[in-house]
Amino acid sequence: MARRGGFPGGMMPGNMNNLMKQAQRMQRQMEEQQREFEEKEFTGSSGGGAVSITVSGKKQVTAVKIDPEAADPDDVETLEDLIMTAANEALRQMEEANASSLGKLTGGLSGLGI
């Protein structure tokens, strides 16, 4: 005779509680890691350091440094390119660091189908 009730897939109540506790712990860790990440800064440079731009983990530009030698009034396009390249490099570094830190937390979730 088939049993009635129970949990689908044979999940026991104790296992469900443990899973919920793990999920809550992981959520707290992710929130803490996000706070720490937002405080970090990432700097990209171009033109051999003629231009450097720093961004925060909140995706905000926090510093721009331009070597006066790079500011040629007859060649503004080169300076614009240097600024764009430095900004993109800083943002790339920030995104890589974010993906890496999240990967460390979520790496163990593959067994859960996530």
Render pLDDT for 96-109 as a digit per residue (tens, 0 to 9).
998 887 777 776 55
What is the Cα gyration radius of the chain? 24
Question: Does 55 score more than 90 pLDDT?
Answer: yes
Task: Answer whether 64's CB lies under 8 Å from 43's CB.
Answer: no
Q: What is the pLDDT of residues 60-69, one digit of tens each?
A: 999 999 999 9
- Convert the pLDDT of each residue in 3-32 to its tens digit: 555 555 555 667 888 889 988 988 898 899
- Give the phi and the psi of residue 74 in degrees, each rounded to 5: -90, -5
- The reported pTM is 0.69
